Amino acid sequence: MSTETQKFDFNLDSPNKARDIIMLVCNALTEKGYNPMNQLAGYLLSGDPTYITSYNGARNAIRKLDRDEIIEELVNYYLQNQG
């Protein structure tokens, strides 16, 4: 087991598929009357796609991403918008 800190790099200049999918999902959830924050939290914690509406293809879209990709995008957005 290595004791070295691992480095994670991502390219902020590349098209952001994760961000686009998160926004599509949030919009679909809102349009259907759900609280996007609660529903995404349920999905991220459980992995159960039924927390995401199938409206406008949101459920199929979010399943194209690993949950860790979604978490990375959310943390990145949060950190960029602090300050």
pLDDT surpasses 60 at 25: yes
Domain assignment present for residue 6? The answer is no
Residue 12 lies in a domain: no
Model confidence at 3, pLDDT cuts 50, 70, 90, reads confident
pTM of the model: 0.78
Q: Based on the structure, what is the number of domains in the chain? A: 1
pLDDT tens track for 33-53? 999 999 999 999 999 999 999
- Please determine, for residue 15, whether its predicted confidence score (pLDDT) is greater than 70: no
Q: Which residues contact 82 (CB under 8 A, 6 or more apart)?
A: none
Answer whether residue 2 is part of any domain. no
Domain that holds residue 26: 17-80
Q: Does 63 map to a domain?
A: yes
User: Which position has the higher pLDDT, 16 or 28?
Assistant: 28
Q: Is 75 exposed, middle or buried (0-12, 13-18, 19+ CB in 10 A)?
A: exposed
Decide if 55 is inside a domain. Answer: yes
Helix (H) or strand (E) holding 31: helix 17-31
